[in-house]
Structure 1
């Protein structure tokens, strides 16, 4: 029954993606940005499903299982940062994308002020493909972990199934298929998480009994803040605020804003987006806490497998299949968007001579899927770590420049490239020297990019004055 319900859900998603062919136009504009006519409810649900990936079902639940209540600050900081980016950057980004007729993230950066920064476009395209490729691999890995636990299938099977489905409906309908299936997947994701939360709570007793059991796990498990100084707490929270602000640097999410029908509908977009985001994130944390009581033998298994293991222990088989489908929906809703963003970068930014070719764009989609699948099958990396690295690299590379653009700044191409390189370098060095325990490296990386703009803009002004 678990397998049947799982397969039925996957077939439903595939059918919805295939139905998008009814509205498909054989153009690269329709394939990459759905003709910029997606209604706000559909764009909002698609964006939030894409944002909340296997990272939530696998990584976030695993983190909460291991660390306890203090993981709530990831939710609070992330949503505050995300909302700040939406209010500061996204309307200007949507309007600029339409005015400059761009279909890729690199094109947006290169043409924001009517410029044509060819080198910036190419560098942005390379970074997008590299970082989103790793991100896509994390999604395929998340699916393979769940199937391995629930059905005992080989660890590669889930990755192959996920990659096949993503290729099927992305290849057939492009970003429109991705958006339609994302909306359907968002309901399954939220329903699966809430079903597991309520079932787990009912199995553990009353609210007071659950609270007492959680407090008894360890002295720190139910503390609101990590066991560190107040400065450490502030840096911990600030790091996740900056992580949320990094949403503006995620091409697979930004493309949903670019596909929105009218920028005036951003308010309605946000209602759908943040309502779902808050409910789902909160349910994820609750499930992570309850998992520690249902599966008390911490350290005896991979914490990122807590959700599928708890599902098998608590739920009827048909619901186990639904939870697994929700997890798979989360991975696919992100993976298809990552793949299409990479396709846009490859064809519009790195191969501009073929940018009008609809056929080449579809071939690029297949190539990107195969590369992401290969990365997933090459090792058993932590989903949480892979996503944080990829998200952080994208944020530190692109968000400082987008922030400057949104505030009216007009950096030269040279300064823009220095900002990209400097942010990424600081991110990598911060991680290399083990400073991530102090603060998530996206914070110093983004600040470094902004600081480089201030420094080199000042030098440019002095040089112009002397001349």
Structure 2
């Protein structure tokens, strides 16, 4: 029964994606940004589904299970940081997409002020392809891990291959429109799965009072401490905790550097509808994270011995123990929905980077666009099948490196600063370099998220090396003139 309900829901996803092909025109802008015709509610739900990926269902819930109530600062910082970025960047990016008539994230940035940063664009494409394939592989792995946690003896590689086949089928058929349509229904499935397990779990635990009473004795009475206590904090006391929270705020701000998420806002039908899009996006976002925080605590009540389980399988194992088979299938489908909603977006963003930014001559024919999509999917699957790292770690590495590469330049553009191409290249490489050294050289990522210095330092350097756009330039710039 578990497998049957799971398969039925996956068939629905596939059907919705394939149905979108009826509106496809085959043109590059239609394939990669749906001809900029996406309504606010679809754009918002698609963006939130893409953001809240297997990282939420597997990584964040597992992190909260192991860490305790202090994990709430990760969620708080993520949402607030994301919101700050959206207040001054999203609408300008949507406007720039229309003005430049480009269909890829890197091309829009390279032509923001009417120039063509061709060298920067190709370097950016290489970085996107490498990091996004890692990101996509992590999503495929997350869904497969969930199946392995529920079906005893199940080979997770079969789940990974099945996920890749479904993504490939509807992505090739309908492009970004298929991704957005399936994201919308996947958002509803994800929310239903979280709500179902949360309320059943609270009832099983004897109510909220009983749940917190049991949690209060765990980890020597520190599990419900609101403030993190870790040897990894770079500084002690309020300053160390403040930097820890600020780091996760930058993790949320990092959304503006994620091509696979920002393309949803680029595809919006009208930049004047950005406020409505954000209402859908943050409404679902807040609910998702509240439920994820609650479920991470409930999982610890249900499985108190954290030392003897894989924390990234906490959610599916709790679902299997508390829910009837048909609802376990819903939970599995919710996890798969989360992973696929991100993986298909990643695949299409990689494809756009290859066909529009990396190759010497832009590829326009529909079969070339679809061939690139297929190739990227196979590469992500191959990496997923070789992966041995945790989903949380893989996603954070790719997330922070992408953010450090692109968020500083996009921030400067949104603040009406002008940079030269050498400066743009410097900022991109500086951000990635700082991020990698922070994590792998210094090992400080546990105390402060590596994207914090990776974004902040290039913004400061870029501000010094850039110049403000003059009033005449702002008046002449279609990007700025339409967003006053």
TM tier, smaller: over 0.9
1:223-238 to structure 2, matched below 5 A, reads 223-227=225-229, 228-238=236-246
Separation (CA, whole Å) in 1 of partners of 2:158 and 2:216: 39
Q: CA deviation at 1:149?
A: 1.4
Instruction: Show the counterpart of 2:286.
Output: 278
Structure 2, unmatched stretches of 5+, are: 230-235, 468-484
Instruction: Show the counterpart of 2:368.
Output: 360
Q: CA deviation at 1:26?
A: 1.5
Q: CA deviation at 1:320?
A: 0.3
Instruction: Show the counterpart of 1:464.
Output: none
1:269-418 to structure 2, matched below 5 A, reads 269-418=277-426
Separation (CA, whole Å) in 2 of partners of 1:211 and 1:47: 33
Match of 1:245 among 235, 249, 253: 253
1:19-418 to structure 2, matched below 5 A, reads 19-152=19-152, 153-218=154-219, 219-227=221-229, 228-418=236-426
Separation (CA, whole Å) in 2 of partners of 1:454 and 1:75: 29
Higher deviation after alignment, 18-27 or 171-180: 18-27
Separation (CA, whole Å) in 2 of partners of 1:140 and 1:105: 23
Instruction: Show the counterpart of 1:463.
Output: none
Separation (CA, whole Å) in 2 of partners of 1:207 and 1:342: 44
CA deviation vs aligned residue, 1:379-438 (integer Å, no higher than 9, x gap): 221000111111100001100000111111110000000000001000011112111122
Other structure's SS at 2:417 match: coil
Other structure's SS at 2:308 match: coil
Q: Do the aligned residues in 2 keep the contact of 1:120 with 1:413 (CA within 8 Å)?
A: yes
CA deviation vs aligned residue, 1:125-146 (integer Å, no higher than 9, x gap): 1111111110000001101111
CA deviation vs aligned residue, 1:122-174 (integer Å, no higher than 9, x gap): 01111111111100000011011111111231121111111010001001000
Q: CA deviation at 1:355?
A: 2.7
CA deviation vs aligned residue, 1:299-342 (integer Å, no higher than 9, x gap): 10110000111011100000000000000000000000000000
Separation (CA, whole Å) in 2 of partners of 1:192 and 1:281: 13
TM (norm. structure 2) is 0.93
Separation (CA, whole Å) in 2 of partners of 1:379 and 1:116: 37
Q: Do the aligned residues in 1 keep the contact of 2:49 with 2:184 (CA within 8 Å)?
A: yes
Instruction: Show the counterpart of 2:434.
Output: 426
Q: Do the aligned residues in 2 keep the contact of 1:40 with 1:261 (CA within 8 Å)?
A: yes
Other structure's SS at 1:186 match: helix
Q: Do the aligned residues in 2 keep the contact of 1:109 with 1:120 (CA within 8 Å)?
A: no
Aligned length: 458
CA deviation vs aligned residue, 1:158-191 (integer Å, no higher than 9, x gap): 1111101000100100000000000000000010
Q: Do the aligned residues in 2 keep the contact of 1:189 with 1:330 (CA within 8 Å)?
A: yes
Q: CA deviation at 1:455?
A: 4.3
Q: CA deviation at 1:352?
A: 4.7
Instruction: Show the counterpart of 2:446.
Output: 437
Q: Do the aligned residues in 2 keep the contact of 1:89 with 1:406 (CA within 8 Å)?
A: yes
Instruction: Show the counterpart of 1:461.
Output: none
Other structure's SS at 2:321 match: helix
